[in-house]
A and B are shown apart, each in its own frame.
Chain A
Amino acid sequence: MENEVKLLSVFAENKPGFLAKATKVLGDAKINIFWFKIIDAEGDKFGLIRFLVDRREEAIQSLKVAGFAVSTVPALAIDAENTPGTLAKLADTLYKLDINVRNGSGYYLNGRVVLMIETNQIQVTAKALREKGYKILSEKEIAE
């Protein structure tokens, strides 16, 4: 395995209160959320909420019981350098491999940069990035 992480993907109607409802379910189940992102679909009629959580199976179960449509999607959490041009370099690497980034986000905090990307070929992407010297974080490493 190339240290891919599994994100929860929760179907969300685009209306007020949906995020609150979903996160309350997770909170009540004492699930810790490391990362989340809202994805708007075409026409803004619905979207998806991605979560990276500590106890995935329990999170899925609680969401399902509460009536949410939930599934998982693979992603890569990349530990990147905090220098100008990092993202450009990464994007260029993927472009040259003809890999399309479906969803991406990232943050900088206290000297650490983490990029989260979803591509159509996760394993190929992970291998290529590792060869280029990127550090790909496992769920365990993120939780630490």
Chain B
Amino acid sequence: MFWEQDIETASRESLQALQLARLKETVGRLAQKSPFYQEKFRASGLNNDSIRSLDDVRRLPFTTSADLRAQYPDGFNIVPKEDLFRLHTSSGTTGKPKALFFTRKDIDILANNFARCLTMVGCKKSDVFQNMMTYGLFTGAMMSHYGAEKIGMLAIPAGPGNSERQLMLMQDFGTTVAHITPSYALYYANFVEKKGLNPAKDLSLRIILVGAESYTEETRRKIETAFGADVFNCYGLSEMGGPGVGFECPAKNGVHLWEDTYLVEIIDPKTLEPLPPGETGELVITSINREAMPILRYRTGDLTYMIAEPCPCGRTHVRVARFKGRSDDMIVVKGANVYPQQIERVLMDTKGVGRNYVIVLQGLDEMIIKVELDAETFDGKVENLEKIQKSIVEHVRSAVQVKPSVELLAPGTLPVSEGKTKRVIDNRSL
């Protein structure tokens, strides 16, 4: 199913022609109105006329997370104040957040893109959409909410947490589509089971949109099995307007990015040179259809590669593979580069452990993995618990070259946060 079949399946040539026109327009506007980019353009000898082909995007300056913070509160805005329609901020963990402005048209474009995403995975007007993401300054819930409204689904702005109420809403209003973070999805499945219900049979969920945190294929399978629903990966970042920047189609192999809105590059994070399809590097996105604050070559920090093969779903917009991690998620333990996702993969493959874990770094480079036991498969035998521990130690060691110690916890003992779950706690005294 398509929301806008013509543009979603447009030929590469016509997409590129549209992109070039929009990139030129964006650069022209920035050269006129953005002191931040004017300065950058001057420094690299660029002018209004520098963009002649899409390849010229490489001549444009990168924009980083630090730039956005440094320009707080409104250094990136290029429209008159009265045309601003919405302010969101990024989920900044330290210091000032990033201030993100949108005009009415900006919001409308994002909502329309999200409507494409929802339709792509099979959502219809008749669906009931329970949005379990955080409403407020965070972009995650509101943009998806507007997307659901575009389609005309019954939207329930439940927000995260309060599982008791989530369950009541799902049961009483027959929720068929949920939008949720992976850690909360796993926690919630457990919660529903504890109520003596089978989430796959006693709820009506058929589609679950899972985003805001990175997660593995194994986690997807666990959520799908628990709820008996299709899980689709939803990639977003506030800087590019929130959720639905990338979205999986029914092929469940990589996320599509809407190329009439974004110009997508993968670069080598060290040399900053572009990489061809199939080669893993950092995802860099330029917004080419944005009024209030166009951002050039934003370095997302997310590591992935472009999938060259045409997608069986028929959409022509570029696909990038499941993220390998975030370059800033990476932790260095005993000199080894470790992505939390590598550890998650081991845990999800280990029989007997549950869905929630945390990686604690302490002392002099000691890694402790705390993982909850799975109540369902627990057999009460001490030797099997020791086997689970040993298996995790060995598999993690072979995956990341660091030997962890493993603590098994009772189910439900780790906190589940309502926004993004913190998987790594670094208490090292280095």
Contact = CB atoms under 8 A, between A and B. Distances in A.
* B is a partner of A: yes
B390 to A, nearest CB: 9
B379 interface: yes
Nearest to A39: B382
A46 B371 CA distance: 12
A65 B410 contact: no
Interface residues of B, number: 21
Contacts of A65: 194, 196
A140 to B, nearest CB: 22
A69 B378 contact: yes
B7 interface: no
A46 B408 contact: yes
B382 A69 contact: no
A6 to B, nearest CB: 10
Given A41-B386, A48-B382, A70-B378, A64 B408 contact: no
B380 A48 contact: yes
Interface in B376-416: 378-383, 385-386, 389, 407-413
A45 B386 CA distance: 11
Contact of A13 (B194, B196, B375, B413): B413
A39 B384 CA distance: 14
A11 B385 contact: yes
A9 B410 contact: no
Contacts of B386: 41-42
Contacts of A67: 194, 375, 410-412
A21 to B, nearest CB: 9
A12 interface: yes
A41 B380 CA distance: 12
Contacts of B410: 11-13, 18, 67-69
Given A41-B385, A65-B194, A69-B373, A13 B409 contact: yes
Contacts of B408: 11, 13, 45-46
Nearest to A71: B380
A87 interface: no
Interface of B: 194, 196, 373-375, 378-383, 385-386, 389, 407-413
Given A11-B410, A70-B378, 15 more contacts: A8-B380, A9-B379, A13-B410, A18-B410, A41-B385, A45-B407, A47-B382, A65-B196, A67-B411, A69-B373, A69-B374, A69-B375, A69-B410, A70-B380, A71-B378
